[in-house]
A and B are shown apart, each in its own frame.
Chain A
């Protein structure tokens, strides 16, 4: 049916007929009208929604909502994973997590990574995307090169960099070769540097994704607008600043959203390269969770960490949707559909 707003009466009739119900005045309708008044009867659209949404909702409930509730429940117990859930401790685990200086430090590390992404990755992605959007000789080759790291798995990336960053390893050799020998640091061993090393590796891995996203966004900026501005005498910087960037807004906002959530959930690369060390200098919320949940067999405590991590990410996502993404998703999510 093409008209989704309100199915015409004929369509309802047809549907009821098709459903095999008696339609005669003495049959179905009066009975139906008695038990189910017309204004409360589900429209065809509602039935369609039920049919189409049930499988997805069931999956979502069983594999997302239910585990979250179970994790929250486990978080109320002191539980090693063996035996029954018998040692009820209320909110004690949650209090312990929030009181632990190592957890707070981990949250801070996530925030640092997120802020650095905004300050460094974003401008870098935008400028590289603008550059690659021009007609360059070997442009497609360059595009492929910047995108290549994104294709590697996080584990491969981490092992690769772990080996390159060993003292006297590839990175140090490169520094020496270009005359920066005095700038060589203990990239993974220094507690004051290791977090920034992680950021560099994360940037190397994910910059390609940002660039591809922004390149796609640039395709949506009409050439006519830029041409018109140029004809009106705008400089190339003005065209970029006043035309291109504003029209890239939705893409940039989505990138920020993905990048922030990614920063909050940073795990694989850190875990393989440093296990959050040395002395928790590169720990993140998720490495903290794995460390204290699985490795220490404290599943109750680990669940509490997981729930707190979920709440932090969820609140951020909601606030961001409400205040930043609202314009972009207007109509798709917020407008009345029915």
Chain B
């Protein structure tokens, strides 16, 4: 039994090694990302949500041409599943080795991330690009400082079926809420589900409350409310009343509480795509989702877009829009100016056109690439957004994450017939008090 001791030694060694591995895994398992300069060579690690083509291919070709024009710079592409950013970023920003560049949706989540002290302030580094992007860049600013740069923009509005509108005898798209309500009645009379909504996912419900708030509140109040993390202003209560009035017309499809937004032909996008519902309040990405959910090749010709109608007597701007977008942040471990140069490169017309035309990301952040949009409706959205008095970032993104979730849940509960419209304001302020 000579080996007993050896076994003991091996056992202890294994245990110790496992322990060490467990302790050090947080720093060694992530790919090396710090873009430290060593003899002029720079490596940047790029965490993005392009896990599939065509976006992934566009990114890879962008990396290639950027590396060719910037000798000494190497960019490591690390696609990360979209939903995983929520869990990965807190850990990565805690560690000493965060990615150099990562996916950034701006708003309250960005403000929370800044607390880690690891996000690069891009205000002066990218000043010329920021002024070129105009008001679109505002969603990635915190207290007037730029911590992220968008590469695409999204606007929310009504997508509708031209054929179903014609069938119900509707000749022009509604511009005010009474007109929309009248169209809902006409569609119902014609036996068509007026509006599809994906209430299972909750965030589509929030679009309605968000838009009523945008119509009821002045731009100044909207800005103050987001900054103060509160909804305790009379106009938000009015938005709740508007929602109540609108819900009373019962505009949605049967069983909308269980309908997903984008999964399957029975989703809200699928219902519109297959002609089973006439309208959907959704982002500009909806045509891409719809065409994947139907065998109808002509669906893109059959749909049109109009902005959220105005609310008579409301104090807010009738041309303000609700939207958001995707962007990137640099971390302080990344070498500058290489990192900011890459973000600028992604917003250059050449890359933007590819992102829009090949990868269908939505509206280009850089207006110079507008010509790459192919769908007539998308061009309408872009021109509407350019003439918008203000673009309000989706409230669930603009507020800190926990407040945004509380908002989505409260609106969804109201859609499910629970609570009151005032409960939405209460839920927001209650979540904000836990900040």
Interface residues of A, Cβ cutoff 8 Å to B: 14-15, 18-20, 44, 47-48, 50-52, 54-55, 57-59, 62-63, 66, 78, 80-83, 159, 162-163, 165-169, 186-191, 194, 274-275, 277-281, 291, 294-299
Contact = CB atoms under 8 A, between A and B. Distances in A.
Contact of A188 (B14, B19, B201, B258): B258
B19 A189 contact: no
B402 A80 contact: yes
B385 interface: no
B266 A169 contact: yes
B199 A83 contact: no
30 contacts: A18-B4, A50-B11, A51-B4, A51-B11, A54-B15, A57-B15, A59-B18, A66-B22, A81-B91, A82-B112, A82-B113, A162-B263, A167-B253, A167-B258, A188-B255, A191-B257, A275-B202, A277-B199, A277-B412, A278-B200, A278-B415, A279-B257, A279-B412, A291-B409, A294-B86, A295-B86, A296-B406, A297-B400, A297-B402, A298-B434
Interface string B2-24: 10110110011011001100100
B434 A277 contact: no
Contacts of A66: 22
A14 B15 contact: no
Interface string B82-111: 000011001101100000000000000100
Nearest to A78: B434
B33 interface: no
Contact of A274 (B14, B15, B22, B258): B258
B191 to A, nearest CB: 14
Contacts of B113: 82
Nearest to B276: A168
Given A20-B2, A57-B15, A296-B401, 10 more contacts: A15-B4, A44-B4, A167-B253, A167-B258, A167-B266, A189-B256, A189-B257, A278-B257, A279-B412, A297-B112
B150 interface: no
A50 B8 contact: yes
Contacts of B143: none
A277 B200 contact: yes
Contacts of B402: 80, 296-298
A308 to B, nearest CB: 18
Given A166-B259, A297-B90, A188 B200 contact: yes
Chain A to chain B: the 3 pairs with minimum beta-carbon distance, closest first: A188-B258, A166-B266, A81-B90
A275 B18 CA distance: 37
Nearest to B260: A162
A190 B266 CA distance: 16
A297 B255 contact: no
